[in-house]
A and B are shown apart, each in its own frame.
Chain A
Amino acid sequence: MTRLASLLKQRETGILVAFLLFLAVTTAINPRFLFSSDGWRDLLLTPSILVLLAVGQAMVIITRSVDLSVGSIVALTAYLTGRLFLDTGLPIAVVVVLAVLAGMVLGLINGALVAFAKVPALVITLGTLYAYRGIMLQWAGSDRINASDIPDAWLTFGTSSLLGIPLLAVVSLLVLAGVAWFMHNARAGRELYAIGSDPDAAVLYGLKVKSRVLLAFAASGALAGLAGVLYVSRYGTISSGVGMGVELEAVGAAVIGGVAIFGGSGTVLGAAIGAYLLTTINRGLPILGIEDFWQRAVVGLLIIAAIVLDKLLADRQHRKLLAERNQ
């Protein structure tokens, strides 16, 4: 195994160890946190939607961009799903595909603005965060979609399990595996890393920078669309506040999972583990007796700690490489 790969490995292993440690401590205080059917189910089910968003976010951050609009895309596609169930008799599979496609189109709009208008992604997606949410609010008006509007089969899907693993978790893990394979083994995946590592060099190499950036945003949008339609399956009701603030959780999960905010390094697997850690901490802190007020602060500290750790590791590696060279 190469040194670089082993270093990256360390990073993901570190996050995994932190996750397991937290789980162990929380379970020691309250065994029901893990050893009950509800506890086990929640552990796997709750992070599922965030995992999808964190994976998409990681793809975008690796190219040295960021996608702040995913929360609004979740809201818009969740409402679209509800409307399709309510107003048309389309089969569930078609609705799912349509929601994913809708998310992809919204992602493509982000990507096109970033790739062609050359405005920083932070600004573009901050704009579309409000724009997409606005469209959803305008469209929904005072309507609210309830569980009774959703086909029972789809609601059942959200609560069913396969061999003790909730179906939603299965879906998100399959997506994770697919994207991880793509990022590691496909040329396009490696090019996303290259673009994030040095955009100017990517142009000199003759890489198709624009279409790759479009790809990353389209993927992030499509995964947010999938998250939207799964949200409907899990919760049944869709109000105006769906997915609010979840974009920052996705960024947080990616960063905690070792995706460098300046692009070029990190893995979607790390981002997914970050999502698990983040969600589980949110659920576990009350059990540890930490007041509500402090929970967000703890999450914030975690993100800062992750970034500081990244910086320290990068500096150490840089020094090590320079030292080797001077030998």
Chain B
Amino acid sequence: MTGTDGPALVLRDVAKSFGSVVALRAATLAVDAGSIHALVGENGAGKSTLVKIISGLHRRDGGEFLLEGRSVDFRSTAESKAAGIAVIYQEPTLFPDLSVTENIFMGRQPTGRWGRIDRRAMNTEAHALFEQLGVQIDPDRPAEGLSIADQQIIEIAKAISLQARVLIMDEPTAALSGNEVERLMTVARTLRDSGCAVVFISHRFDEVFELCDTITVMRDGSYVSTDPVDQVDVDDVVRRLVGREVGDLYPKQPSEIGDVVLEVKGLTSLGLFSDVDLTVRSGEIVGLAGLVGAGRSEVAQAIFGVDSYNAGTVHVDGRPVPARNPVKAMEMGIALVPEDRRRHGLVLEEDISRNITSATRRSLSHGGLIWSALERRSARQWASRLEVKASALDTLGGTLSGGNQQKVVLAKWLSTEPRVLIIDEPTRGIDVGTKSEVHRLLSTLAQEGLGILMISSELPEVLGMADRVVVLSEGHVTAELGRDEATPEAVMHAATSSQREHA
């Protein structure tokens, strides 16, 4: 398998856009056979898009893509698979109703006479594969109910039986426990020693430095650097990862910081987050940073009472907020602007005024009926305060731009006169111009005495806006940084530090 000269997989200056959004500008990656190559980058750096191009889910717009020296252009996952590429996703997709063996061989089962599937041969090979990998999984059991680690092992077994020469693992360890990570690393090394080119994508630098021999850094859809691991350290990598001027993109106005409005103590939800402490003062913007999957949104949902939690308390102005009761949380002064505003924040089929007043219907109703005139009056006031740009209040929510939709959702929650506003990814999917408008709005609201808890995956946004940054990693608070201490490096360090290290 290693007979070829040069790298097994080469991508050079690969570009990809989705509409007007540029996902990849000039991505470059060269992986040798018999090597484990780390690919690191912030959320949104373009790693996943690159993987999808390699796996045939997307086609590149430009650049070179060579597999063992030959130029390739995959139009489907079947083609890339046939060429010897296998991808292990963070959450594998298996057929829950079918047996483990069938999952490994689906679509290419060994057949005998009249195309009859040779179940015995299939079983023998499945046993042999699991033995080779040194794992104990019953090949006859259904895939349903398998742990994510076991599902990944099945994907790897599939890759081996396909004799894949390039194996890509897209954040495989994010959902694994310590032992499972060890097992996966052992398997990855076995594959490397057998001549596979392995690409390992991870946010956990401890794993990267333990497992990989080469490391490529990506930022903003472009290639930054490639080095052997023994010639760089974590600090170098983090610097290259962030390497961006925060600048004055987000004009945060200083505001007077008052008393504690939101106090969260020891909030724990098994498997999602544990022992989270948070305080938000009036007039303060607290940034909640962390990687995707660190549990930020889950914490927000628990505070607001959408999801339940196992332990901990939430207080607003010193009064306890009951668990699992969003209506009560709202009455006590918590507002939550969710991440997916199109799905959870807005009724796309209703007009602006209906959307704005949907959280305050109770106070607007008389005798059980909602009066349109009252509704309009209330809506007009908020729409003009937030400068919602639409020709009329009866414009449908679904037809507004992302920025204006966000303002409508904000208006809806502000009309409940909250004490604390939790906002999840305030500018996701909003164009650059409107972004700063949303930021200015949040800043003004803080000046008026609102406490704001802002969840954001965009580091510059967090650093530019927040008075204080709380960093979550794998469901634990790993750092709390004041505005002056919050450098990109410090935040990234905390966000990628693994609890297991400390344990």
| Residues of chain A having any CB pair with chain B under 8 Å | 2-4, 185-187, 190-191, 193-194, 196-198, 200-207, 260, 264-265, 317-318, 321-322, 324-325
Contacts and interface: CB of A to CB of B under 8 A. Distances in A.
B116 A185 contact: yes
A317 to B, nearest CB: 7
B253 interface: no
Given A191-B106, A317-B144, A265 B97 contact: yes
A206 B107 contact: yes
Given A3-B140, A187-B109, A325 B145 contact: yes
Contact of A207 (B96, B99, B107, B117): B107
A2 B77 contact: no
Nearest to B110: A187
Contacts of A193: 95, 97-98
B97 A197 contact: yes
Contacts of B400: none
Contact of B95 (A2, A186, A198): A198
B115 interface: yes
A2 B126 CA distance: 15
B145 A321 contact: yes
Given A201-B93, A206-B77, A265-B97, A4 B116 contact: no
Interface string B136-157: 0000111011110000000000
14 contacts: A2-B99, A185-B117, A187-B108, A196-B97, A201-B94, A205-B106, A206-B76, A206-B82, A264-B96, A264-B97, A321-B144, A321-B145, A325-B145, A325-B146
B94 A198 contact: yes
A276 to B, nearest CB: 25
A197 B81 contact: no
A197 B96 contact: yes
B78 interface: yes
Contacts of A4: 99, 140-142
Contact of B98 (A187, A197, A317, A322): A197
A317 B145 CA distance: 9
B111 interface: yes
A321 B98 contact: no
B96 A198 contact: yes
A197 B77 contact: no
A191 B108 CA distance: 10
A206 B74 CA distance: 12
B102 interface: yes
B93 A204 contact: yes
Nearest to B79: A206
A207 B111 CA distance: 17
Contacts of A201: 93-95
Contact of A200 (B93, B99, B142): B93
Interface string B98-135: 11001000111101000111000000000000000000
A180 B30 CA distance: 49
B190 to A, nearest CB: 24
Contact of B142 (A194, A204, A206, A321): A321
A324 B142 CA distance: 12
A206 B111 CA distance: 19
Question: Most chain-A CB neighbours within 10 Å: which of B82, B94, B97, B144?
Answer: B97
Contacts of A203: 77
Contacts of A191: 106-107
Interface of B: 76-79, 81-82, 93-99, 102, 106-109, 111, 115-117, 140-142, 144-147
Contacts of A187: 107-109, 111, 115, 117
A267 B16 CA distance: 45
Given A186-B116, A198-B95, A321-B141, 9 more contacts: A187-B115, A194-B102, A198-B93, A198-B94, A201-B93, A206-B77, A207-B106, A321-B146, A325-B146
Contacts of B102: 190, 194
Question: Most chain-A CB neighbours within 10 Å: which of B78, B95, B117, B144?
Answer: B95
Question: Most chain-B CB neighbours within 10 Å: which of A197, A207, A321, A322?
Answer: A197
Given A2-B140, A4-B141, A207-B107, A190 B117 contact: yes
Contacts of B144: 317-318, 321
B122 to A, nearest CB: 11
Nearest to A321: B145
A193 B143 CA distance: 13
**What 4 A-B pairs have minimum CB-CB distances, sorted nearest first?**
A321-B145, A206-B78, A201-B93, A264-B97
Contacts of B109: 187, 190
Contacts of A202: 95
Given A190-B102, A197-B96, A198-B95, A205 B107 contact: yes
B156 to A, nearest CB: 15
A137 to B, nearest CB: 38
Nearest to A187: B109
B95 A197 contact: yes
Contacts of B81: 206
Contacts of B147: 325
Contact of B145 (A2, A207, A318): A318
Contacts of A196: 97
A193 B107 CA distance: 11
Question: Most chain-B CB neighbours within 10 Å: which of A4, A260, A318?
Answer: A4
Contacts of B117: 185-187, 190
Question: Most chain-A CB neighbours within 10 Å: which of B93, B99, B111, B146?
Answer: B93
A4 B143 CA distance: 11
Contacts of B79: 206
A194 B116 contact: no
Contacts of B96: 197-198, 264
Contacts of B146: 321, 325
Nearest to A181: B116
Contacts of A321: 141-142, 144-146
Contacts of B98: 190, 193-194, 197, 264
Nearest to B112: A185
B401 to A, nearest CB: 28
A260 B97 CA distance: 10
B80 to A, nearest CB: 9
A17 to B, nearest CB: 24
Contacts of A260: 97
Nearest to A200: B93
A2 B99 CA distance: 9
A191 B109 CA distance: 10
A62 to B, nearest CB: 10
A301 B20 CA distance: 55
A204 B77 contact: yes
A318 B146 CA distance: 10
Contacts of B78: 206
Nearest to A62: B97
A194 B105 CA distance: 11
A4 B145 CA distance: 13
A88 to B, nearest CB: 36
B183 to A, nearest CB: 15
A322 B142 contact: no
